[in-house]
Chains A and B, each alone.
Chain A
């Protein structure tokens, strides 16, 4: 069974929309973080799909897209670590993870 490029793009856009929805609607900081992870993985999936389906003229695979996916995963990990640390220190300060309460910076 073979899959076309568009089916991969459909999955990735679905992931992106789910992630964005999560980011916009959840009030728990950890859940917002999970939404961001989804958005990032949608992007990574796009890279891999295009890498697989857009071949070079001689038939050799374009590996630059897969390398980019690796970068995205690495950055996602670093970002998750940083954000969790921030949320932890915010929690220790404000005793809550509700991002609605995080408005000390408002103008």
Chain B
């Protein structure tokens, strides 16, 4: 079953095939999900399908075996459903969005490859297969972001995504190697491997392994893998590629942001929860990075004017939430937010795509009043907007609130850190509501601010685009039902489903569960969400001069925000410029040093060749010609004997015989 999922057809010329294949894999994922549900005992909900042995390394102390195996357990089932389900809707939407583009086959091939890589990543049973999917996702994002590669800026954006991802992948791979090496050293002759089951068994060995620089190996591995996750999931410091990733077609942005790619990091940490749990320091780092990223990205989103960039920073911010959740060991809350986020963020991106489809540009300042022209897009967008803002009882509220609660009650190594992160998260939630309100008001409310000619062309998108929007809107509204908060005394379906994999961690410990407190916090987070919305409404509807005034009063801060904290400039200064300089120096060295060496060698060779040629002419040819001359002289003498007259030969025969006879007689 899992093998089938992995072997999806690549897209052909017809978008149909692209959609149908993803749809098939979605159904297979559903079937897999129900197969798992059919297994009564939650602990046994696990299907592992091994295709073949990939690697077998034997050495004198043991064996290392690696299989190309897939793993279907509750966690990967949920991820599969999200990836293939949301992926299918995005494929469907793309049919409308990409209609008329010449390179549709390429587009759908990439998109399908993307889905395939993501499913491979999600279903992999060991870290190396996961790494293959991990890299495949990175490659596809590069291909799709730079899809319109004739535009140099877009091609550059693709390159940037790829290179930044490489940095993260490097961390991931080093972590992988470190893990492998430690297991190898401590294996004591047993068969080792990198499958998740084996890793879980090997955890005690990893914890007791010899520390490196006084830091436990488990922490090292966790941190290095987290570096990989920051690259893939766009966290500080490797988030810079995601806003630029907006260069790709909008459905691709939706796909990258919602269903695939960026969630890979969260998934990886949830998958390796046993490893991260044994490295509390690393977990704390994850939580801090997540919190800071969530806040920083939210502030950046406030000042963006590109509709897609607002959503991009919002994604980074939401991912920060997820990392915060897994950082406080609330893995199921993180996955819950991942799922709901994939619903409403896909919805928002596709809605934005629909808007861009109508107005043909991304600039919020030249939109407005679209509510009248695009009623369906507006309605569905509203659903996504309310969900991400955290308005109860929509899905975003449920998952975000669960994370905030988990963070509030967490037991991080540093006292007070949990509360600080919670406060940060609360402010971020308010900011989220604020910038989303700003976006909605700028895009949909008021009157159209573009040229009249453009206004004339405004139109609702075709049904093939609005259909997926509606499906996602429904999901975004009711998706929260998967995980109702504890005070409702209703079962938390997702958490109990995931429990066999993720364990019983997080803040929902029933004994210490202070319902009153949680209800209070829920009220508080709803209040900040509403406050954010009101703030946005105040700034952009009631007193439209406030933003400009604020921008002029806090000019420094505004400039910093609109220039994205100067992070790009910093990277330019710290890494890119030195690298370019290094490249120039290397080029210089190449020209002057290596080329000189090469030229010197060639000069020497030429001289040597001349010498050898002279020697060849004089000595070798002399000998050869001399021999030939001698032979020829001999021949010249001998040819006189060959008169061509038979009788002469006969004479010599007769006289020869006679001579022989004489000799016989004499002897």
The interface of chain A, by Cβ under 8 A from chain B, is 20, 23-25, 32, 99-100, 102-107
Contact = CB atoms under 8 A, between A and B. Distances in A.
A99 B643 contact: no
Contact of A103 (B641, B644, B651): B644
B489 interface: no
B638 A107 contact: yes
B639 interface: yes
Contacts of A107: 635, 638-639, 641-642, 644
Contact of B650 (A24, A104, A105, A106): A24
Interface in B614-667: 635, 638-639, 641-647, 650-651, 654
B232 to A, nearest CB: 89
A51 B647 CA distance: 33
A53 B557 CA distance: 143
B647 A99 contact: yes
B643 A103 contact: yes
Contact of B645 (A20, A23, A25, A100): A100
B642 A24 contact: no
A106 B639 CA distance: 8
A-B pairs, top 5 by smallest CB distance, nearest first, are A106-B644, A103-B644, A107-B642, A107-B639, A106-B642
A102 B654 contact: no
Contact of A24 (B635, B643, B644, B647): B647
A7 B650 CA distance: 28
Contacts, number: 34
Contacts of B647: 23-25, 32, 99
Contacts of A99: 645-647
A105 B646 CA distance: 10
Most buried by B among A102, A103, A104: A103
Contacts of B644: 102-107
A103 B639 CA distance: 13
- Grouping DSSP codes into helix (H, G, I), strand (E, B) and loop, the A interface class, with mixed when no group exceeds half, is loop
Contacts of B654: 20, 24
Nearest to A27: B647
Interface residues of B, number: 13
Contacts of B642: 105-107
B651 A24 contact: yes
Nearest to A99: B646
B655 to A, nearest CB: 11
A60 to B, nearest CB: 33
Given A24-B654, A32-B646, A102-B646, 12 more contacts: A24-B650, A99-B646, A102-B644, A102-B645, A103-B643, A104-B644, A105-B642, A106-B639, A106-B644, A107-B638, A107-B639, A107-B642
A23 B643 contact: no
Interface string B489-515: 000000000000000000000000000
B522 to A, nearest CB: 120
A105 B596 CA distance: 64
Contacts of B641: 107
Contacts of A20: 654
A23 B650 contact: yes
Contacts of A105: 642, 644
A20 B653 CA distance: 11
Contacts of B645: 99-100, 102-103, 106
B638 to A, nearest CB: 7
A68 to B, nearest CB: 21
A59 B639 CA distance: 56
A31 to B, nearest CB: 12
A104 B645 CA distance: 9
A107 B470 CA distance: 106
Most buried by A among B635, B644, B651: B644
B399 to A, nearest CB: 108
A32 to B, nearest CB: 8
Nearest to A23: B650
A99 B650 CA distance: 13
B634 to A, nearest CB: 12
Given A20-B654, A24-B651, A24-B654, A106 B646 contact: no
Nearest to B657: A20
A7 B644 CA distance: 39
A19 to B, nearest CB: 12
Contacts of B646: 32, 99, 102
Interface string B233-251: 0000000000000000000
19 contacts: A20-B654, A23-B647, A23-B650, A24-B647, A24-B650, A24-B654, A100-B645, A102-B644, A102-B645, A103-B644, A104-B644, A105-B644, A106-B639, A106-B642, A106-B643, A106-B644, A107-B638, A107-B641, A107-B644
Contacts of B639: 106-107
Contacts of A104: 644
A21 B646 CA distance: 14
B642 to A, nearest CB: 3
Nearest to A103: B644
A104 B638 CA distance: 17
A68 B564 CA distance: 120
A103 B606 CA distance: 54
Contacts of B651: 24
Contacts of A32: 646-647
A87 to B, nearest CB: 12
A98 to B, nearest CB: 11
Interface in B437-474: none
Nearest to A104: B644
Most buried by A among B639, B641, B647: B647
Interface in B69-87: none
